[in-house]
Amino acid sequence: MNITELSLTELSQKFKEGKLTSREITEAFIKNIEAQNDKLNAMVTTTFDLAREMADAADSRCENDKLLSPLDGMPFTLKDNICTKGIRTTASSRMLEDFVPPYDAEVWQKLKAAGVVLLGKTNLDEFTMGGSTETSAWGYTRNPHDLSRVAGGSSGGSAAAIAANFCAGTIGTDTGGSIRQPAAFCGITGIKVSYGRVSRYGCMSFASSLDSVGILAKTAEDCAIILQVIAGHDEKDSTTPDKEVPNYSANLPKSLNGMRIGIPKEYFKEEGMDSDVLSVMNSTKEILKKMGVELVDISLPHTKYAVPIYYIVAPCEASANLARFDGIRFGPKIDGKTLDEIYTKARSYGFGDEVKRRILIGTYALSAGYYNAFYRKAQKVRTLVKQDFENAFEEVDAILTPADPSVAFKAGDGYSNPLKMYLEDIFVAPASISGICGISTPIGKNKENLPIGAQILCPAFKETLALQIANQIEKEIKD
Ligand code: GLN
């Protein structure tokens, strides 16, 4: 048995039964990271000493029958935009190359209280702006399925860390696809929860009306037990409603018989899509039909506006959020004769090209005279995209789409043409704009053996349903 290949659920079971200690599990994962990270570049920082300490503490809780949760003693990583007290947190930016947060993000607090073992922080596109981790100041993460290809992004380090067995669970963020697209590229499961379901306190902001904190893991079953720990209201994040946290694992085994799943025609156009993605999606539809699901043709007519809306709203909000990185409040202290010179030097040195590009777009679109034409207009059309989903969910329980029009692309192809990269987000941006939940689940491979993912979209706060559908598909495909 290779310990690192087990799912979180399997590992947790073996730990509880005393078949494996947390220390044994942790050492196996450390060994794997040491052997493979040089080639994959999934980790920005490793915290092995801390991990060993945390594992030993979990082992003594296990001996005393005092386990804190099903995650107790389990090996985790966190995306490097999630603040960890005393552990460097860079957002993969030179702006924060020496930044050691003075406090923990709420999501990390909760995981710590549940007993997880932290192995380190994972690579991302700088400040999460990107879809390939190529905008990271620390170099891009390679796809474990093909080293010449990207792992996706922005949570590419997290997705590769799961696919390469560096950890059993990891936390990512998704503002416009950053969990679902890398999960699809790496052949793993990733859930973007509904806006507000998980506290963002202590996670670095990109676009505050879109950002959400979610999970990447080997299976939907694993995502469910992690979500159980991290979901819920947090008084430090006013966007988290005081809504009941259901039992996310309860419906996993339930059959999908009689369920109605929508197939939106806008997401199944042959033009611009890999033919292998289409054919694997068609097989998934057949599997669902055999399970008793009724597939319903639907239309989400405003889908084509999602990318333009996203690339106005996100840069606008980013330009405001990133103002704090000025070399005084945050960022490198570089001497200058005037305040302007200090700002200019710090921001020129600290930010990479893509982040600068977004700040420029956002600042321009928010400036007097343009605000109404761009930001306000984008927010209005955003409502139409949201209404498309509301109308669809009156007819169907959930919606099935490809997670991405293609498989993982070759490294270096990306940001030479930023516009092409932006268009990549076509299938993932609509759910972010609308605040609903979405899960990406592996459904097969193309002819070159590269993973393909399906996206299941559900109404806001229906994570239980998304997890159930993903779990049923995963189980059926595995058998
Ligand atoms: N690819 C998108 C972008 O570049 C999504 C990023 C994200 O979700 N953080 O903005």
Instruction: List Cβ neighbours of 355 (8 Å cut-off, separation of 6 or more).
Output: 93, 126, 127, 129, 135, 318, 322
Write phi, then psi, for 71 (nearest 5 degrees): -95, -5
Q: Give the strand order in the sheet containing 75-79.
A: 43-46, 117-122, 75-79, 169-174, 212-217, 189-192, 437-445, 451-458, 398-402, 260-264, 294-298
Q: In this predicted structure, what is the pLDDT of residue 479?
A: 63
Query: Are the C-beta atoms of 224 and 191 separated by less than 8 Å?
Result: no
Quote the ligand 1 centre to 212 CA distance (angstroms).
11
Quote the ligand 1 centre to 40 CA distance (angstroms).
21
CA distance 401 to 427: 8
Q: Which of 178, 205, 249, 440 is catalytic?
A: 178
Instruction: List Cβ neighbours of 40 (8 Å cut-off, separation of 6 or more).
Output: 141, 142, 144, 147, 151, 160, 164
Condensed to tens digits (0 to 9), the pLDDT of residues 230-262 reads: 999 999 999 999 999 999 999 999 999 999 999
Q: In this predicted structure, what is the pLDDT of residue 1?
A: 76
Ligand 1 pocket test: pick from 206, 425, 432, 455 the residue with the most ligand atoms within 8 Å of its Cβ.
Answer: 425
Looking only at the bridges linking them, the beta strands covering 75-79 and 169-174 are parallel
Residue with tokens 């490793």: 46
154 has catalytic annotation: yes
209 has catalytic annotation: no
Query: Are the C-beta atoms of 437 and 192 separated by less than 8 Å?
Result: yes
Query: Are the C-beta atoms of 467 and 191 separated by less than 8 Å?
Result: yes
DSSP structure string for 320-353: HHGGGBSSSSBS-----SSHHHHHHHHHHHHS-H
Condensed to tens digits (0 to 9), the pLDDT of residues 32-43 reads: 999 999 999 999
What's the token pair of residue 88?
């460097």
Regarding the beta carbon of 132 and ligand 1, being less than 6 Å apart is answered: no
CA distance 463 to 223: 10
Classify the C-alpha dihedral 331-334-337-340 as positive or negative.
negative
Condensed to tens digits (0 to 9), the pLDDT of residues 169-226 reads: 999 999 999 999 999 999 999 999 999 999 999 999 999 999 999 999 999 999 999 9
Q: How confident is the model at residue 417 (pLDDT cuts 50, 70, 90)?
A: confident
What's the token pair of residue 286?
């057949």
Percent of the chain with pLDDT over 90: 95
Q: How confident is the model at residue 387 (pLDDT cuts 50, 70, 90)?
A: very high
Taking the domain 1-479, which CATH number applies?
A: 3.90.1300.10
Instruction: List Cβ neighbours of 277 (8 Å cut-off, separation of 6 or more).
Output: 402, 404, 405, 406, 407, 446, 452
Three-class DSSP category at 207: coil
367 has catalytic annotation: no
Regarding the beta carbon of 172 and ligand 1, being less than 6 Å apart is answered: no
Regarding the beta carbon of 175 and ligand 1, being less than 6 Å apart is answered: yes
On the CB side of 353, CA atoms within 13 Å amount to 6
Question: For ligand 1, what atom is nearest to the CA of residue 206?
Answer: 9
Cβ atoms within 10 Å of 375's Cβ, excluding its own: 19
Regarding the beta carbon of 109 and ligand 1, being less than 6 Å apart is answered: no
Give the DSSP letter of residue 259.
-
pTM metric for this prediction: 0.98
- Rounded to 10 deg, the angle between the 306-321 and 353-366 helix axes is 100
Query: Are the C-beta atoms of 167 and 414 separated by less than 8 Å?
Result: no
Residue with tokens 């997670």: 403
Condensed to tens digits (0 to 9), the pLDDT of residues 357-382 reads: 999 999 999 998 999 999 999 999 99
Angle subtended at Cα 332 by Cα 331 and Cα 334, rounded to the nearest 5 degrees: 135
Ligand 1 pocket test: pick from 82, 129, 415, 423 the residue with the most ligand atoms within 8 Å of its Cβ.
Answer: 129
What's the token pair of residue 266?
């806008």
Q: In this predicted structure, what is the pLDDT of residue 424?
A: 87
In this prediction, residues 420-424 reach a mean pLDDT of: 86
Look at residue 10 and tell me whether its pLDDT is greater than 80: yes
Looking only at the bridges linking them, the beta strands covering 189-192 and 117-122 are unpaired
Cβ atoms within 10 Å of 133's Cβ, excluding its own: 34
On the CB side of 82, CA atoms within 13 Å amount to 31
Per DSSP (E only), the strands in 87-136 are: 117-122
CA distance 445 to 275: 12
Look at residue 414 and tell me whether its pLDDT is greater than 80: no
Element holding 401 (H helix, E strand): strand 398-402
What average pLDDT does the chain have? 97
Regarding the beta carbon of 128 and ligand 1, being less than 6 Å apart is answered: yes
Look at residue 15 and tell me whether its pLDDT is greater than 80: yes
Query: Are the C-beta atoms of 40 and 164 separated by less than 8 Å?
Result: yes
Radius of gyration of the chain (CA): 21
In this prediction, residues 437-464 reach a mean pLDDT of: 98
CA distance 182 to 294: 29
Closest by CA to 162, choosing from 217, 123, 116, is 217
CA distance 188 to 166: 13
